[in-house]
Amino acid sequence: MNQLDYAQLILFIVLLCVLTPPVGHYMARIFTDAEFWPRRAFRPIENCFYRLSGIDPKHDMTWRQYARALMWFNVIGLIVVFTVQMLQAHLPFNPQKLPAVTWDLALNTAVSFVTNTNWQSYSGETALSAFTQMFALTVQNFVSAAVGLTVAIAIMRGVAQRAQLTLGNFWADLVRGTLYILLPLSVVFAIVLISRGTPQTLEPNVHVTTLEGPEQVIPVGPVASQEAIKMIGTNGGGYFNANSAHPYENPDPLVNFLQMLMIFLIPAALTYTFGSITGARKHAWVIFATMLILFITITALSLMSEYGAGGLMEGKETRFGVFNSVLFSTVTTSASCGAVNAMHSSLSPLSGGLAMLNMMLGEVIFGGVGAGFYGMMLFILLTVFIAGLMVGRTPEYLGKKIEAREMQMVILAVLAPCAVILLGTAIAAVVPAGLAGPSSKGPHGFSEILYAFTSAAANNGSAFAGLNANTPFYNLMMAFTMWVGRFAIILPILAVAGSLSAKNISPQSKGTFPVDTALFSALLIGIILIVGALTFVPALALGPIVEHLLMKQGTFF
């Protein structure tokens, strides 16, 4: 690392800290019906949508109604995305005359984009038409991110409200998250991308003659619009197979830096939104600080591992170098984004293992849009519960008693992704269809399988890239894993939100455990790491750890 690398990392952290309060305050005003100029400017559009859809935004829902509406919306989205892929050959904006996608890949892709995972077992520029990319995938990039926002806002309301049985209106939250937050940010960032050279066109692919004489086909399309929401919505699904290593998706170092910042922008700001809605601003900054400490620590360890292995450029994008490749890998796996500007399979064994660990911890280090916050909330409630047991008091969180029902839901949400990661990896590592996927042998081949199921359960979408996942076995296994990884967390956290919302605030006493101190942050970090270590260290030992030890001995596979 050189001085410019250190300066870039410091600038990244400073900008994140500076942007968090204004963006978080803005989102809090949007979701609390505050009257200010964006609401006045866009209210006619918002109200028009409600009238056309028959939605009453003032009709508050119980947590069960909220969850039911959310699930129906996602099931319908799944059907639409699947159908578009199956009918692709007969739909417009398909100048390459691309055929329909196979049913298992179509199902995998539909689940992937509906769950905000954006796992891609296909090459976008050769498998999907511009219509499919825009109407099916880019639309889901917006609404799947908005769904994450709605769940985060629901749990915030649950903590803030007193003796109320409702959490707001899912449809209104979905519309406002899309119209006032995701769409404006994406339009601005898309314009920036276009100004830097990212294509935004419906024209056919460009045919050119190279200096050597042969003809080359250069794929183009509506790239900038998908790229913008891909980052802002922590989606990660690229228009091109090379994702953010492709010069059309990621034209230069400035865009590369902005992409990383956009990935973290909304997830970081949601901590401030939480403080504004609940009034617990000091506690919100403790949450932000906890996330930042974990991010800096894992980034430092990953950089040390990569440079300790020689800082090799194999698999890295030459325009960005080792530092930006490692930083991007840490950012994208801390958030549920999945965009990559280098091949994670080419990271040093421990750097690749740390990328997996980010996802195994539930991607709570800022995390995805909404998903990172409600994932962190699970660990916050777990920490409060354990602290309460240690001192022999009924655990309380911001005046709400944490009882058996809440903890049952928390444990379910924490364990479900862990189960599908480990069981899916175990099955793939022993059946012939699973063993046919990895391109590498030994521990690195195992890491390819483990990374894939970890990425799917965490709704991340990045891959080690050496795994051939476009087979019926992996398409169906990964689809199941993505669905469980998304909704086996969302439904329990909504149940927790409903339960907390119905409770009154208990007055603080000398025995109340404060959650706005450095001690709470340290305990929270300890719980996050202990849960991750106890669950996944044995699996990591079979992959990245043993590969690192063998590499030190000069053994390669």
Q: Give the mean model confidence (pLDDT) for residues 80-108.
A: 92
One-character DSSP codes across 188-212: HHHHHHHHTT--B--SPPEEEE-TT
Per-residue pLDDT tens for 397-448? 988 899 889 999 999 999 999 999 999 999 999 999 999 989 888 899 999 9
Two tokens, residue 532: 């991750």
Question: Does position 310 have pLDDT exceeding 80, yes or no?
Answer: no
For the chain, give the mean pLDDT. Answer: 91
Q: What pLDDT is attached to residue 232?
A: 94
| 167-176, 476-485, 539-548: range with lowest mean pLDDT | 539-548
Q: What pLDDT is attached to residue 554?
A: 77
> CA 72, 76, 78: angle at the middle one, nearest 5?
115
Q: What is the radius of gyration, based on Cα positions, of the chain?
A: 23
Written as one letter, the residue type at 288 is: F
Q: What pLDDT is attached to residue 175?
A: 95
The Cα–Cα gap between 207 and 217 comes to 5
Under DSSP, the state recorded for 182 is I
Model pTM? 0.93
pLDDT band at 382 (very low <50, low <70, confident <90, very high): very high
Q: What pLDDT is attached to residue 239?
A: 84
CB–CB of 107/483 below 8 Å?
Answer: no
Q: What pLDDT is attached to residue 299?
A: 95
Written as one letter, the residue type at 539 is: A
The Cα–Cα gap between 374 and 493 comes to 7
Q: What pLDDT is attached to residue 392?
A: 72
Per-residue pLDDT tens for 218-267? 888 889 998 999 999 998 888 888 888 899 999 999 999 999 999 999 99
Question: Does position 17 have pLDDT exceeding 90, yes or no?
Answer: yes
Per DSSP, the three-state class of 215 is strand
Q: What pLDDT is attached to residue 317?
A: 80
Q: What pLDDT is attached to residue 552?
A: 82
